């Protein structure tokens, strides 16, 4: 997987060897991973957490310590219940692990400079996040536009084509004050692209809410829902995900 992410930053390439080009592509990932390692290693005294749901607890930690995060969770009564982590002296990594351990069937892993919390019971064959994308490129675009482009690519595989063809409908709400981003990534999963968008934009957290029901879409994928679970998502609109800023509206639900 090759990846390049920038925020309004251009690097002129005049004479490059293959090895130099490779380094220019991977250096942003190494830098983000190093920054994340430092944040996770911070020791916190007397930290306590109380949240109305599993995801809210995760987003509270991501917001408080500015952790890039991707969450894949299943909407069910257990994950919708209140959680609490008692006052503790721990590193940020240990605090996150304590939150993850409030729910069975979840694990935490780190890749692409992002903390991932994953529901292990979602079959890889049913998880759209593991679909591979040959290439994804955006140049000087708002993150909302990049997200819409990714949705169109994913739905081309997840949604059955309509008789007579036709495009995939979608709405776009953008904030012109957002910095524009550059992302170039090849031979990557949907998850990798979401991570790249999180690293390069102000939307540092992405959340995929999988339905509790094992009833699959006509193309064999686990259905997704809105984060609040109050809006049905038709097969034609699958899959969906939400993104959040640190400290912004809805950052901790």
What is 48-114 written as a DSSP string? EEEESSHHHHHHHHHHHHT--EEEEEE-SHHHHS-EEEEEEEEEHHHHHHHHHTTSTTEEEEEETTE
| Domain 1-8+15-158+178-253: CATH class, spelled out | alpha beta
CA distance 174 to 132: 27
pLDDT at residue 225 in the model: 95
* Distance between CA atoms of residues 193 and 158, nearest Å: 17
| Rounded Cα distance, 214 and 195, in Å | 26
Overall size of the chain counted in residues: 253
Question: For residue 244, with 0-12 CB atoms within 10 Å meaning exposed, 13-18 middle and 19 or more buried, which class applies?
Answer: buried
pTM of the model: 0.84
All structural domains of the chain with their residue ranges = 1-8+15-158+178-253
CA dist 169 and 249 (Å) reads 26
Calculate the CA 123 to chain-centre distance: 18
Q: How many Cβ atoms from other residues are within 10 Å of residue 183's Cβ?
A: 24
pLDDT tens string, the chain, 253 residues long: the values are 765 566 443 333 333 344 443 444 444 554 678 899 999 999 999 999 999 999 999 999 999 999 999 999 999 999 999 999 999 999 999 999 999 999 999 999 999 999 999 999 999 999 999 999 999 999 999 999 999 999 999 999 999 987 765 544 444 455 557 789 999 999 999 999 999 999 999 999 999 999 999 899 999 999 999 998 777 899 999 999 999 999 864 554 4
Helix 143-158 and helix 190-200, axial crossing angle in degrees, nearest 10? 170
Please give the Cα distance from 168 to 104 (Å, whole number).
Answer: 37
HSE at residue 147, side-chain half, CA atoms within 13 A, is 25
């Amino acid at each position: 997987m090759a990846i390049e992410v920038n925020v309004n930053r251009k690097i002129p390439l005049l004479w490059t060897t293959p090895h130099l080009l490779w380094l220019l592509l991977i250096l942003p990932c190494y830098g983000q991973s190093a920054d994340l390692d430092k944040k996770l290693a911070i020791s916190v005294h007397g930290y306590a957490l109380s949240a109305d749901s599993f995801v809210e607890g995760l987003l509270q930690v991501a917001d408080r310590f500015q952790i890039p995060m991707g969450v894949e969770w299943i909407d069910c009564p257990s994950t919708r219940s209140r959680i609490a982590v008692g006052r503790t002296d721990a590193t940020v990594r240990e605090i996150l692990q304590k939150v993850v351990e409030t729910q069975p069937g979840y694990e935490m892993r780190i890749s692409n400079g992002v903390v991932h919390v994953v529901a292990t019971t979602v079959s890889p064959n049913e998880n759209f996040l593991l679909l591979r994308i040959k290439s994804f490129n955006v140049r000087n675009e708002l993150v909302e536009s990049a997200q819409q482009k990714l949705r169109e690519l994913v739905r081309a595989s997840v949604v059955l084509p309509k008789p007579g063809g036709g495009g995939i409908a979608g709405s776009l709400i953008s904030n012109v004050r957002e910095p524009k981003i550059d992302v170039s990534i090849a031979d990557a999963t949907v998850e990798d692209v979401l991570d790249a968008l999180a690293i390069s934009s102000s939307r540092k957290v992405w959340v995929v809410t999988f339905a509790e029901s094992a009833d699959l879409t006509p193309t064999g994928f686990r259905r997704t829902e809105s984060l609040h679970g109050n809006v049905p998502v038709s097969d034609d609109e699958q899959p969906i995900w939400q993104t959040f800023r640190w400290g912004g509206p809805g950052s901790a639900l």
